[in-house]
Homo-oligomer: A and B are copies of this chain.
Amino acid sequence: MRCSCILPDPDAEGELVMNELTISLKPGKQIPLYEQIYEYIRKEIRRGAIQSGEKLPSTRALSRHLEVSRSTVELAYEQLLSEGYIEAQPYRGYFAAQIEGLYQFSGSGQTQEKREQKAERTYRYDFTPNGVDLKSFPYNVWRKLSRECLLDDRAELFRLGNPQGESGLRSAISSYLHQARGVNCTPDQIIVGAGNDYLLMLLCAILGSSHRVALENPTYRQAYRLFENLSYEVCTVDMDGKGMRADKLMESGADIAFVMPSHHYPLGTVMPIRRRMELLAWAEKTEGRFIIEDDYDSEFRYKGKPIPALQGYDGSGKVIYIGTFSKSIAPAIRMSYLVLPQPLYRRYRERCGFISSTVSKVDQLILQKFIEEGYYERHLNKMRALYRSRHDTLLSALRETVPEPDISGENAGVHLLLHFRDGRSEEELIRKALEKGVKVYGLSEYYVDGKEQADTDETVILLGYANMNEEKIKEAVKLLGEAWANC
């Protein structure tokens, strides 16, 4: 039994020696005395200066020699005990625990890898197809509703809520879906979640592993990558002008089809009723087959009525409907919803019913009021008018500027497609536009599965108009005319 011998610390302000154990206590400092004693002994044990099995001085002896109260030393020893640096042996005292040789402790912090945060260059004119006009976000209403929701000290609002989302919000969504989208569902079938990505992850947990998912090509890449990363087999199925080909879907061996029937992204295709029925018939043919309907931006259609959701035609519980408020309100509010057919809803309850909601109750309540009090409808009307005007401006500007433009995907959504068949490459068209300060997007980045482009000789450019006002659209199209004229 021996105690380690420590040389006095030259920085010590007050120095106390006890047996052979020296601790420099700094009583004036912010760190409590017990913590200084604890820190000191811990460090000595970690660096091996106090070896395993060595006996420590008794609390009484150490307190006397350090001229501190016994409870101070006891507190230090208790902390060392609870973290396992020392061990208490009845009637014998405290001993350093055996920790050396097991593992090399981390140094003064992990090596900090510095990554370059690539600053996204911004362009004077950006035709991003993913834009949402946030100048029109209803700030006043949102503030007002948020104030109202937080008005009372309601503990209820901060208690863990229903895993599916609050029933008030689900009722509001269910009536909205019925009226606006022709979706047949009860609030029970709805699961509110923090964004489509999360809901697709949840859906994979509900469906379980070993599925083969078929997507259109091009498609919403995010979904493709998610399924892939969640270890699903993914494949693509050829499209024609009516959307995913049902015969090719049959051949693909997939049991899940991911489609956007009301407005395909990025092509803007509307799936006609016949194709929809073929897909439903495909799903009905075999148990376990499902169709995921991503109805991401059906709110915006500038000609006629909205195209009804596929879910509304589903008589056999085969369609999983997914919708979002990201496009129609704002991306950062993080609220989407899943409508599960009854058989899957039961599976959800069994397998995943315990998974907590990902949306805060306050946000759910704000959104519920936003829908129920008519603000959502008004906001949609306002945005539809705004986007329609930009859509019309872009169309007429293109027709004036580009000779005989070949346009598709218009009349809905917030972007359209411009087709070129003059041999010019996507890269060239994008680069020429960039040189004039206009950012445009190529269709090729929406292709997955190794495919780079459709098997045609055409080049397709996407022009999104949600983020640009009419004046800017006109200016930008003029520049595009110049950029592409002298290619």
Contact = CB atoms under 8 A, between A and B. Distances in A.
B137 A146 contact: no
A40 B102 CA distance: 80
B280 A229 contact: no
A188 B242 contact: no
Contacts of A186: 112-113
A380 interface: no
B304 A110 contact: no
A287 to B, nearest CB: 16
A75 B284 CA distance: 33
A97 B332 contact: no
A19 interface: no
Nearest to A186: B112
A317 interface: yes
A110 B342 contact: yes
B146 A159 contact: no
Interface in A91-143: 97-99, 102-107, 109-113, 115, 132, 134-135, 137, 139, 142-143
Given A79-B305, A82-B304, A304-B82, A99 B277 contact: yes
B271 A157 contact: no
Nearest to A162: B117
B274 A102 contact: yes
A176 interface: no
A105 B205 contact: no
Interface string A308-340: 100011111100000000100011111000000
A385 interface: no
A78 interface: yes
Interface residues of A, number: 107
A231 interface: yes
B209 A198 contact: no
A402 interface: no
- Secondary structure call for the A interface: loop
A134 B159 contact: yes
A413 to B, nearest CB: 13
Interface in A276-306: 276-278, 280-281, 284, 303-305
Contact of A188 (B79, B102, B115): B115
A161 to B, nearest CB: 6
A155 interface: yes
Contacts of A209: 209, 231
Contacts of A49: none
Interface stretch (A357-365, A444-452, A456-464): A357-365
Interface in A230-286: 230-231, 242, 270-278, 280-281, 284
Interface of A: 34-35, 38, 75, 78-79, 82-85, 97-99, 102-107, 109-113, 115, 132, 134-135, 137, 139, 142-143, 146-147, 150, 153, 155, 157-161, 184-186, 188, 194-198, 201-202, 205, 208-209, 222, 225-226, 229-231, 242, 270-278, 280-281, 284, 303-305, 307-308, 312-317, 326, 330-334, 341-342, 345, 351-352, 354-363
22 contacts: A79-B304, A83-B270, A83-B273, A83-B308, A84-B271, A84-B272, A84-B273, A103-B278, A103-B284, A110-B184, A110-B315, A110-B341, A110-B342, A111-B342, A113-B188, A143-B147, A194-B194, A194-B360, A195-B357, A222-B354, A332-B360, A334-B360
